[in-house]
């Protein structure tokens, strides 16, 4: 598969073995192509990952081989890549890598990392998120155009409740992600509560197009606001991450004026470097902003007091949380017995 090569990444020399190994058979992209892509967008992906505990989605033999999520920092990780100690909902904990320079991204690509999944926290405070992440997930029967329509309303909701500015990006699939930089003052539980408030407000405004229903059987042909992507240890693919699909799409940061005209297939391992060379990182100023969640948390309180809308189900692997409703899908829920005639 060819001799190893050495790549220069932000002042680091990173060795890449088997550079000709094919990672994307449909397009013929190799491990070297993957590494060179991450070099081309280096400042952008480092901005998205810097100082964040990061889970690696690894395909050591490319899409045709086995894959896995690596949460714990690999034992062979260089000592120049720092880590952060994070705790999972189960109570177990681990040290995760926290990229601080572009060389860390290329080093991860050497071991078959396609997608980077950063936590919404920094290693200085791993229990206080500094991003509110909204995942607009198209359900069967809907597509990217439906997500775009929902994103327009989401933008209005964010502005109305706290003057928040969201930064949109394609998911690399059919959906959209919108990240809001926030002050690291609130817990995961509180940030999730704010995400639920956003979802409920969008559902009220677009009842035929948006849902916050956790159970798939209740969602219908709508855009699902996946509020649980803000729960502890749930992560979203970073900006510029390559996604594990045959045509090698990437999660592309967008300016708001581009959202309606763009299409997820416009952005892949081959096309993104030229866009980055021309425009740079269109989310480069994201870290210059920090917004408050107070208005959204007030909306959550109003939903609870005025409408009786409390918490929503967590993912199945989570322990039962305080105030959480029964975690059972409606079609399997035990129906209350009807009183016998004459009772």
- The percentage of residues in the chain with a pLDDT greater than 70, rounded to a whole number, is 97
Residue 239's alpha-carbon distances to 1, 143, 169, in angstroms, are: 30, 20, 7
CB 51 within 8 A of CB 143: no
Listed as own residue / partner, the contacts of 30-33 with beta carbons closer than 8 Å and 24 or more positions apart are: 31/62, 31/109, 31/110, 31/112, 32/5, 33/269
Q: What is the mean pLDDT of residues 49-67?
A: 97
Beta-ladder partners of 250: 242
Give the C-alpha separation, 146 to 176, whole Å.
10
Name the more confident of 182 and 341: 182
Count Cβ atoms below 10 Å from residue 92 Cβ, excluding itself: 9
Name the more confident of 337 and 237: 237
Per-residue pLDDT tens over the stretch 176-214: 999 999 999 999 999 999 999 999 999 999 999 999 999
- What's the pLDDT at 343? 39
pTM here is: 0.94
Q: What is the mean pLDDT of residues 89-112?
A: 96
Tokens 């997608």, residue?
A: 115
Per-residue pLDDT tens over the stretch 105-150: 999 999 999 999 999 999 999 999 999 999 999 999 999 999 999 9
Q: Where does residue 207 rank: exposed (0-12), middle (13-18), buried (19+ CB within 10 A)? A: exposed
Q: Which domains are assigned to the chain?
A: 5-127+240-252 (3.90.920.10), 131-233+289-307 (3.90.920.10)
Q: Tokens for 180, please give them.
A: 């809001």
């Amino acid at each position: 598969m060819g001799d190893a090569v050495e790549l220069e990444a932000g002042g680091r020399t990173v060795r890449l073995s088997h550079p000709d190994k094919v990672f994307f058979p449909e397009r013929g992209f190799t491990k070297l192509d993957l590494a060179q892509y991450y070099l081309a967008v280096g400042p952008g992906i480092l901005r998205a990952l810097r100082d964040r505990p990061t889970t690696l989605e690894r395909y050591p033999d490319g899409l045709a081989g086995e894959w896995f999520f690596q949460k714990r920092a690999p034992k062979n990780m260089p000592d120049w890549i720092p880590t952060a100690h994070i705790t999972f909902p189960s109570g177990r904990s681990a040290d995760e890598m926290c990229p601080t320079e572009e060389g860390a991204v290329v080093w991860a690509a050497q071991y078959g990392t396609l997608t980077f999944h950063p936590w919404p926290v920094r290693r200085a405070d791993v229990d206080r998120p500094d991003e509110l992440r909204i995942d607009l997930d198209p359900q069967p029967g809907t597509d990217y155009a439906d997500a775009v329509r929902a994103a327009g309303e989401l933008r209005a909701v964010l502005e109305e409740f706290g003057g928040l500015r969201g930064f949109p990006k394609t998911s690399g699939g059919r959906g959209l992600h919108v990240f809001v930089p926030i002050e690291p003052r609130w817990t995961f539980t509180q940030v999730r509560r704010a995400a639920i408030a956003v979802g409920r407000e969008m559902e009220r405004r677009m009842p035929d197009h948006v849902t916050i229903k956790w159970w798939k059987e209740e969602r219908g042909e709508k855009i699902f606001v996946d509020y649980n992507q803000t729960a502890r240890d749930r992560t979203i693919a970073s900006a510029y991450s390559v996604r594990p699909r045959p045509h090698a799409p990437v999660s592309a940061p967008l300016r708001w004026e581009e959202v309606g005209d763009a299409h997820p297939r416009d952005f892949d391992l081959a096309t993104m470097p030229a866009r980055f060379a021309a425009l740079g990182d269109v989310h480069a100023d994201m870290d210059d902003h920090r917004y408050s969640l107070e208005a959204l948390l007030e909306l959550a309180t109003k939903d609870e007091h005025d409408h009786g809308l409390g918490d929503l189900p967590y993912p199945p692997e989570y322990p039962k949380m305080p105030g959480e409703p029964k975690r059972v899908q409606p079609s399997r829920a035990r129906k209350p017995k009807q009183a016998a005639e004459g009772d």
